[in-house]
Amino acid sequence: MGIALNLVAISVFVMTVSTLLGGLFHLSPTVPALATFTVLGIATFDAFSLDGRGGNLFLDWIAGFWPEYRKRIVHHEAGHFLVAYLLGVPVVGYTLSAWEAWKQQQPGQGGVTFDDRELASQLEGGTISAQMLDRYCTIWMAGITAETLVFDRAEGGGDDKSKLAGALINLGFSISACEQKQRFASVQAKTLIQENWLAYQALVNAMTQRASVAECIEAMEEF
């Protein structure tokens, strides 16, 4: 639904620009209205029929014109991958764009896929060990942490924070306890990435080349 809202924002922008330029180019007042109606219609269809995937592809395509955006994605996802590997959570795949995610029939704009059956089983049972919880909280915060280490600040990671908060709230954590857990997980992730910095850089290079999961692991294990 967040993508749909982005498309709505785009439609408002289109309407505003076409209204401002209408007088200059003698555009009919119906032009901005039709443009807005079209974009809103696409957003509605995408949200309810395609689960937001069309919007993901569109926005990912636009952002792809900025090389730093792609670099941020690789460094972000490599953070998740490295920390999951170090904490013993199997990585089963990864995607680095909405198009790759679409081809693999995954939601969203891409990411690292884990074998999280043990976590799901514990969450369904309403109980989870402290060790398991700390492990996944650290993994969820590793992308933001890695991006911050490389670029001084993170632009992605909203979904990661939502996953962490959702899991903690379902387990009865308060908002303040969630924030404290998030900070602790960030520190843990930062320590792991910094202590394995050469392995992290090797992983970034391997993922940039779209190496397989096995090849990525081999690249890390050289350091």
131-164 confidence digits (pLDDT tens): 989 999 999 999 999 999 999 999 878 889 988 9
**Would the pTM of this model clear 0.85, i.e. be above it?**
no
Is the predicted pLDDT of residue 191 greater than 90, yes or no?
yes
Q: Where are the domains of the chain?
A: 2-49, 67-221
pLDDT at 3: 41
pLDDT at 2: 40
Cα Rg, the chain, nearest whole Å: 20
pLDDT at 31: 54
pLDDT at 52: 47
Q: Which H, E and C letters describe the chain, residue by residue?
A: CHHHHHHHHHHHHHHHHHHHHHHHHCCCCHHHHHHHHHHHHHHHHHHHHCCCHHHHHHHHHHHCCCHHHHHHHHHHHHHHHHHHHHCCCCEEEEECCHHHHHHCCCCCCCEEEECCHHHHHHHHCCCCCHHHHHHHHHHHHHHHHHHHHHHCCCCCCHHHHHHHHHHHHHCCCCHHHHHHHHHHHHHHHHHHHHHCHHHHHHHHHHHHCCCCHHHHHHHHHCC
Short-list 216, 185, 178, CA closest to 77:
216
pLDDT at 129: 86
pLDDT at 125: 76
The conformational region for residue 48 under phi > 0 = left, psi -120 to 50 = alpha, else beta, is alpha
pLDDT at 29: 57
75-101: pLDDT as tens digits:
999 999 999 999 999 999 998 876 565
pLDDT band for 127, please (50, 70, 90 cuts): confident
pLDDT band for 21, please (50, 70, 90 cuts): low
Is the predicted pLDDT of residue 24 greater than 80, yes or no?
no
Q: Domain 67-221 is of which CATH architecture? A: Up-down Bundle (1.20)
